[in-house]
Amino acid sequence: MNTVFDINALVNSFLPARSFPCVNILVAGRQKQFDDSVGILGQSIAEQGADVSCVRLDDESVSADQSKFEAVIDRFVDLTRLNLFIPQEDSLLRPKIAARLFTHRYPARIVLMSMMTPESLHLAAKATPELLDCLGKKISQLLVGSCKLLITSKQGTHLECCAPTPEMLSLLTGHFDVGVIENLPTGEIYWNPAENIDGEIVANGLIRNRLSTTRVSADQNIRIIIKGGRIVAIESQSGHHVGSFLGAIRDDENTARIGKLSFGLNTINSVRLGENLVCDEKVAGFHIVTGTPCPHRGVIPYFSKDRFWIQMEGLTCKAVTPDGQEKIILKDGRFVI
C-alpha cells in the first residue's frame, strides 16, 4: 500500500532543539495565510523543547520609515538565539531585510529564507534530511524503471517527457551543521531532460531568476508552451508579470532551453555569507529550470545569460512503465510513494 506524504503534514522538525534551544522567527509580507504556516513551524520547534518567539512585519507599517525598519531588525536579532528570517516571496521588505543583514553583519546565527510560499514553508518546517533523502531515492527508483513521465494539473498544465536513465539522475542532499551554518536540510532528485519534453505549463506558482521572484496564479492565464525541450511561446494576459522572463527568452536561445526537471527541495542557490549567515532558496514539490545544461550528469553549470526557476503547485506526476503501468509520484501536490 502506498504511503502519502502530505507536504502540509510531514513529520519531524528541521531544527534540533538540542542545538538551538532559543529561536527567533520573523516573517515579513502581506499574505495572511503565512500565519498558519509560521505557527506550525514555531510549534514543531517548540515541541522539541525550544523557546520560540515570533514577530510579524507588515510591509505598509515599516517600509516608508527606514530608521524604524532598521530599529525593528536590530531589536529582533538576538546573539543568543538562532534568528530565522522568512520574507514572503512578494514582500516589499525582502530586499531591505537582506541588505540590512548583509551590510550590518550581526555577530549572530542567522538564516535568511529568501523565497517562501506557504507550501514550501510547511515542507521546510516538517522534513528531516533523512526523510527527504529517502523520498528522493524512492522517486529515482520509480523514474529509472519507467519510459516516460506525465505531468498534469487541474489548471491545464500537461507535459510529457522521457524518463531519465540512472546515469542522468542526481540526488542533492544537505545538512545543518551546528558549528557553522551551511545549509538547511534538503533532498532533491533532478535530471536533464534534453530535447525530450513537450507540452504546456499553466504557471500557478513562482517564476524567478537570481534577481527577482514573481508569484503568479492560474487566473492570470500565463501559459508556457514547450516543444522539443525548448520554450517556443509564452501566452499571457498580464505581460508585466513575466516581462523579464519574456525578454531573456527572446535575447538568448540558451535561456529558452529546459535544462532541468526536479522533485524535492531546492537549495541550489544557497549562498553562505560569512560564518553565521546563509541565504537559502526553497522550492517544494516540483520545478523546472531553463538554460542549456552541461552534459555531465545532469544540469550544472547552465550555459545561458540568465536562467529561470518555474515552480508549479498542485501537480499530478506519473511515471509510465514500458508496459503502460502508471506509478504516481505526486497527486494534486502531494507526494505519493
Strand partners, 281: 115
Query: Which residues contact residue 331 at a Cβ distance below 8 angstroms, ignoring those fewer than 6 apart?
Result: 4, 316
List, as one string, the DSSP characters of 304-319. Answer: SS---EEEE-SEEEEE
Q: Assess whether 33 and 163 both reside in one domain.
A: no
Q: What is the span of the domain harbouring residue 98? A: 12-123
Alpha-carbon span 82 to 21, nearest angstrom: 8
List own/partner pairs for 67-76 with CB under 8 A and 24 or more apart. Answer: 69/93, 69/96, 69/100, 70/100, 73/97, 73/100, 73/101, 73/104, 74/104, 76/24, 76/26
| Sequence-ordered list of residues with C-beta below 8 angstroms from that of 32, at least 6 positions apart, any chain | none
* Residue 226 binned pLDDT confidence (cut-offs 50, 70, 90): very high
291 in the same domain as 192 = yes
Q: What pLDDT sits at residue 319?
A: 92
Read off the pLDDT of residues 137-167 as tens digits, 9 standing for 90 and up: 788 888 888 999 999 988 889 999 988 877 7
Rounded Cα distance between 14 and 48, Å, is 11
Query: Does 215 reside within a domain?
Result: yes
- Residues 227-258: pLDDT tens digits? 998 888 888 766 555 666 777 777 777 788 88
- Does residue 256 form part of some domain? yes
Same structural domain, 98 and 153 = no
Residue 234 sits in the same domain as residue 259: yes
pLDDT (tens digit, 9 = 90+) per residue, 46-73?
Answer: 776 778 888 877 766 666 677 778 888 8
Determine whether 321 is exposed, middle or buried from the number of CB atoms within 10 Å of its CB (0-12, 13-18, 19+): middle
State whether 41 and 185 are in the same domain: no
pLDDT digits (tens, 9 = 90+) for 291-302: 876 555 444 545
What is the per-residue pLDDT for 93? Answer: 73
Residues 308, 196 share a domain: yes
Average per-residue pLDDT for the chain: 69
> How many domains are contained in the chain?
2
Do strands 148-153 and 158-162 pair parallel, antiparallel, or not at all (unpaired)? Answer: antiparallel
Residue 293 maps to a domain: yes
Q: What is the DSSP letter of 165?
A: P
CA–chain centroid gap for 206, Å, is 9
Confidence of residue 198 (pLDDT cuts 50, 70, 90): very high
The last residue of one of the domains, among 71, 103, 123, is 123
CA distance 205 to 119: 10
Of 123, 138, 156, the residue at which a domain comes to its end is 123
Domain final residue pick, 102, 123, 144:
123
- Identify whether 272 is part of a domain: no
What average pLDDT does this structure show over 86-91?
67
